[in-house]
Chain A
């Protein structure tokens, strides 16, 4: 299975943008890049996904490298409620395979 690599943790200041990186050098042409987040004591929550082009939604933006070997989740203005574990996942075969994720801490 194609794997993703994320930093274990990141810190951000409230109301500043956050760029969460993800490396997926073994991605195949049909793998979608998905991002989920998990707030404390809750189930994972979908954030965004894409295949080749950059994507924007109300929660975040996803920037995908031209060679697709890496991507970046962008939170435009971090709030305290964005403190969570963020998972970058390569979606293949109808299945999500979660890795360790990045724990985002937001400082007031």
Chain B
């Protein structure tokens, strides 16, 4: 398996624009997680899905952020409108059983100017 795939790897956008980050989990994994990493706040869990259903979105910072998982092999994290403080590295992870290991993707580095 190719592991967790994220795209794009880098995104530079202007404030106010819509940004969509994409994730393909490892095949067969029922859990998908979105994290955000910044120097100030470290790694934070934003939302996670089980069998394509959002289970806990308490980490989503505000209504500008939304996440979907239309099928078992694809998820998106959307920011609309984007702001400079959204600049961060966004990681997607998947797991078969959460108590065991989570596999992280390479991340998307987002810069909002």
Give the B-binding residues of A (Cβ under 8 A).
Answer: 32, 42-46, 49, 87, 91, 93-101
Is B12 an interface residue, CB under 8 A from the partner? no
Q: Mark B73-109, 1 if CB is under 8 A from A, else 0.
A: 0000000000000000001010000111111111100
Contacts of A46 in B (CB 8 A): 101-103
Looking at chain B, what size class is its interface with the partner chain? 20 to 34
* Interchain residue pairs with CB less than 8 A apart (30): A32-B99, A43-B4, A43-B91, A43-B93, A43-B104, A43-B106, A43-B107, A44-B43, A44-B91, A44-B93, A46-B102, A46-B103, A49-B99, A49-B100, A49-B101, A87-B43, A93-B56, A94-B31, A94-B50, A94-B55, A94-B98, A94-B99, A95-B45, A95-B48, A95-B56, A95-B98, A97-B45, A99-B42, A100-B42, A101-B42
Contact yes or no, B42 A98, CB < 8 A = yes
Please report which residues of chain B, range 24-82, place their CB below 8 angstroms from some CB of chain A when the two chains form the complex: 31, 33, 35, 42-45, 48, 50, 55-56
- A58 to B36 alpha-carbon distance, docked (Å): 29
How far in angstroms is the closest Cβ of chain B from A107? 25
User: A44 to B43, alpha carbons, bound, how many Å?
Assistant: 10
B contact residues around A97 at 8 Å (CB): 45
B contact patch SS: strand
Q: Kindly list chain B residues whose C-beta atoms are within 8 Å of the C-beta of A32.
A: 99
Q: Is the CB of B98 within 8 A of A91?
A: yes
Q: Select from chain A the residue with minimum beta-carbon distance to B100.
A: A49
CB neighbours of A87 from chain B (8 A): 43
Distance to closest chain A CB from B104 (angstroms): 3
Given contacts A91-B99, A98-B43, contact A44 B48 (CB under 8 A): no
Contact A94 B101, CB 8 Å, known A43-B106, A43-B107: no
Most chain-A CB neighbours within 10 Å: which of B45, B50, B102?
Answer: B102
Candidate in B91, B104, B106 with the most chain A CB atoms within 10 angstroms? B104
Can you add 18 more A-B contacts, CB < 8 Å, to A87-B43, A98-B35, A100-B42? A43-B4, A43-B91, A44-B91, A44-B102, A44-B104, A45-B104, A46-B101, A49-B99, A94-B31, A94-B50, A94-B55, A94-B99, A95-B45, A95-B48, A96-B33, A97-B45, A98-B43, A99-B42
